[in-house]
């Protein structure tokens, strides 16, 4: 009798485990559509991640940047449309915080810790240092920055709140760190111009961004070392009642997009490889 009860209990546990796995599969792999709406993201220009120069008045074109394509692909599965508000980065942050926008494209928790983030990133960033081509300076840790004038953009986080960001915050009102306003829509172009005109010695930006910027022009900067590669996210305004729902959709959607091969195809259009 005891052996029969044990066998029955084992069968029951297996059945429950099977049901749990099926439920988990459907939760992650099969999108369940809810109420559709238009989600407005505030963002700046950061090609090939986000390319506002390719946007039309009617909507988003075929190559708006790979982050835009990733987010659009996932949210469209649920009937959601996306719209971009191209504004200076400092204004984008303020607007997302107060609910003027539904979220931010391309940020990290250190920048806006109060916002709602997906568990899985929608992109990556690989920050590198760039000098004029005639410079021999190389990045060898934060201490090596104390002898050069570093050009940065206000309100940017470069290593997710790490040692570099701490150094920048400590020195930003001094001689060695020279910021440009986060209200500058052409921050990258401004920073490149500053280094060409010798107003700063070093700038820091994404490797992919610099390569894309110079793809059709003579490169006037050289790479002088990089910091670690980190994931980058879409963040949703805590003022939006559906923020957690959207974040979960994007997180689970990254699993499906990667498994289906669609992520690889999107990235390939921009000459970028999967970061995982």
**What does the block give as tokens for 168?**
């920048």
pLDDT at 244 (0 to 100): 97
Q: What is the per-residue pLDDT across 252-272, written as a single tens digit (0 to 9) for each?
A: 999 999 999 999 999 999 989
Strands 81-86 and 150-153: unpaired
pLDDT for residue 185 is more than 80: no
Dist. CA 192–CA 182, nearest whole Å: 15
Question: How much is the average pLDDT of 125-136?
Answer: 96
pLDDT at 56 (0 to 100): 56
Return the number of other C-beta atoms located less than 10 Å from residue 112's C-beta.
23
pLDDT category at 68 given cuts 50, 70, 90 is: very high
pLDDT at 34 (0 to 100): 47
Which of the pair, 185 or 25, is modelled with greater confidence?
Answer: 185
Dist. CA 104–CA 43, nearest whole Å: 6
DSSP 94-147: HHHHTTSSSEEEEE-TTT-TTSB--SS-SEEEEEEEEEETT------SGGGGGG
Question: How much is the average pLDDT of 29-34?
Answer: 46
H or E segment to which residue 228 belongs:
strand 221-236
pLDDT at 24 (0 to 100): 44
Lowest-pLDDT range of 64-78, 79-93, 130-144, 180-194: 180-194
pLDDT for residue 27 is more than 60: no
Q: What is the per-residue pLDDT across 85-114, written as a single tens digit (0 to 9) for each?
A: 988 888 999 999 999 999 999 999 988 999
| Strand ranges of the sheet holding 123-132, from the earlier edge strand across to the other edge | 81-86, 38-43, 103-107, 221-236, 123-132, 202-206, 150-153, 177-180
Question: How much is the average pLDDT of 57-83?
Answer: 87
pLDDT at 21 (0 to 100): 45
Lowest-pLDDT range of 13-17, 34-38, 241-245: 13-17
**What does the block give as tokens for 123?**
């992109």
Dist. CA 201–CA 197, nearest whole Å: 10
Alpha carbon 199 to its chain centroid, in Å, reads 29
pLDDT category at 155 given cuts 50, 70, 90 is: confident
Dist. CA 246–CA 254, nearest whole Å: 12
Burial of 154 (0-12, 13-18, 19+ CB in 10 A): middle
């Amino acid at each position: 009798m005891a052996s029969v009860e044990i066998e029955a209990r084992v069968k029951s546990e297996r059945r429950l485990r099977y049901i749990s796995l099926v439920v988990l599969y459907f939760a992650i792999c099969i999108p369940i559509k809810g109420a559709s709406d238009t989600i407005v993201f505030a963002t700046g220009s950061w090609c090939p991640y986000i390319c506002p120069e390719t946007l039309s008045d009617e909507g988003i074109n075929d190559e708006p940047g790979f982050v835009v394509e990733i987010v659009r692909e996932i949210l469209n599965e649920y009937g959601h449309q996306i719209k971009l508000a191209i504004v200076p980065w400092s204004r984008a942050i303020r607007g997302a915080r107060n609910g003027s926008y539904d979220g931010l494209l391309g940020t990290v928790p250190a920048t806006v810790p109060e916002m709602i983030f997906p568990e899985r990133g929608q992109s990556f960033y690989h920050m590198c240092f760039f000098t004029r081509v005639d410079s021999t300076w190389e990045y060898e840790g934060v201490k090596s920055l104390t002898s050069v004038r570093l050009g940065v953009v206000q309100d940017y986080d470069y290593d997710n709140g790490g040692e570099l960001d701490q150094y920048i915050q400590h020195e930003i009102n001094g001689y060695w760190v020279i910021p440009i306003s986060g209200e500058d829509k052409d921050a990258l172009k401004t920073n490149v111009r500053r280094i060409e005109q010798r107003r700063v010695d070093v700038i820091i930006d994404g490797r992919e961004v610099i390569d894309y910027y110079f793809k059709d022009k003579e490169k006037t900067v050289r790479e002088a070392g990089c910091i670690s590669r980190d994931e980058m996210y879409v963040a949703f305004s805590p003022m939006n009642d559906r923020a957690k729902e959207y974040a979960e959709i994007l997180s689970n959607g990254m699993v499906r997009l990667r498994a289906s091969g669609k992520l690889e195809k999107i990235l390939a259009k921009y000459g970028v490889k999967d970061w995982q």
